[in-house]
Structure 1
Amino acid sequence: MDEQLLELATTAGNAVVTLLATDAWQTAKSAMVSLWGVAHPQRVEVIAGELDDARAALLAGRRSDGPIVEEELAGEWRGRLRRLLAADPGLADELKRLLDEQLAPAVRDAGVAVVSQRARAEGNARIYMSGRDLSVNER
Structure 2
Amino acid sequence: MTTDAWQQARTLLVTWWRRVRPRQAGRVDTALVECRNRALAARREGDENAESHLVEAWESRLTALVRDEPALTDELRRLIDEEIAPLLSPEGDVRTGSHDFRAEASGHGRVYQAGHDQHIYGP
Q: Is 1:77 matched up with 2:58? A: yes
Give the counterpart letter for 1:52 in structure 2: V
Superposition RMSD on alpha carbons, in Å?
2.1
Does the CA contact (< 8 Å) of 1:24 and 1:110 recur in 2? no
Match of 1:88 in 2: 69
How far, CA to CA, are the matches of 2:68 and 2:30 in structure 1?
Answer: 22
How far, CA to CA, are the matches of 2:6 and 2:66 in structure 1?
Answer: 23
Does the CA contact (< 8 Å) of 1:23 and 1:110 recur in 2? no
How far, CA to CA, are the matches of 1:110 and 1:49 in structure 2?
Answer: 27
Structure number with higher relative contact order (C-alpha < 8 Å, ≥ 6 residues apart) = 1
How far, CA to CA, are the matches of 2:86 and 2:68 in structure 1?
Answer: 27
Percent of matched pairs sharing the same residue: 35
CA distances 1:32-88 after superposition (whole Å, capped 9, x unpaired): 212321321011111111101011000011111421111110110010001000000
Aligned length in residues = 94
Structure 2 length normalisation: TM-score? 0.69
Pick the structure with more helix per residue: 1
Match of 1:66 in 2: 47
Show structure 1 runs of 5+ residues with no match.
1-19, 114-139
How far, CA to CA, are the matches of 2:92 and 2:57 in structure 1?
Answer: 24
Q: Is 1:40 matched up with 2:21? A: yes
Match of 1:54 in 2: 35
- The structure having more radius of gyration, on CA atoms, is 2
> Which stretches of structure 1, 4 residues or longer, exceed 6 Å deviation after superposition?
none
- Tell me whether 63-72 or 103-112 shows the greater mean CA deviation: 103-112
How far, CA to CA, are the matches of 1:43 and 1:37 in structure 2?
Answer: 7
Show structure 2 runs of 5+ residues with no match.
95-123
How far, CA to CA, are the matches of 1:96 and 1:52 in structure 2?
Answer: 22
